[in-house]
Amino acid sequence: MTSRRHLLHAALALVAVASLPMLQACAGTPPSGTAPTDDPAFLAWLRNLTERLKADPYAKPLPMKSKFENDTFLVRLHDAYRKRTPRDAFTSWFNAQYPGFLYEGAVISEQLPR
């Protein structure tokens, strides 16, 4: 009986250790309902992207006219960043929303994780 218990504990320990990488990977990706402002990895990436665009002499600031427009852009960008929206779908949406900002859209799309 005791050896069975030890065997069971050893098997459970092995399963727990083997599942650690999977649990850590899951912890790094927020649930799909997570708001962009609650995703630290996305916010760090967005800060880096913003700095890159500010330093680019060819990039123009995007004309965000309202909080709704800004929020919509962030949600769409977050979905593309988390690969819930394909890169080309985001690029098409961006180019339709901001037709005079094709260069900026290309820079943003190129910076999205692959």
Per-residue model confidence as pLDDT tens digits over 24-65: 344 455 666 678 888 899 999 999 999 999 999 999 999 988
Instruction: Give the other-Cβ count within 10 Å of 113's Cβ.
Output: 11
Together in a domain, 58 and 47:
yes
Together in a domain, 53 and 92:
yes
Per cent of the chain over pLDDT 90 is 63
Q: How many domains does the chain have?
A: 2
Together in a domain, 99 and 64:
yes
Together in a domain, 56 and 2:
no
The answer to whether 110 and 90 are in contact (CB under 8 A) is no
Together in a domain, 45 and 91:
yes
Q: What is the pLDDT of residue 12?
A: 32
Dist. CA 24–CA 102, nearest whole Å: 38
For residue 49, what are the domain limits?
A: 32-111
Together in a domain, 36 and 26:
no
Q: What angle do CA 90, 108, 54 make, to 5 degrees?
A: 145
Together in a domain, 26 and 71:
no
- Residue 102's contacts (CB-CB under 8 Å, 6 or more residues apart) are 95
Closest CA to 94 of 114, 113, 69: 69
pLDDT above 50 (res 90): yes
The answer to whether 55 and 47 are in contact (CB under 8 A) is no
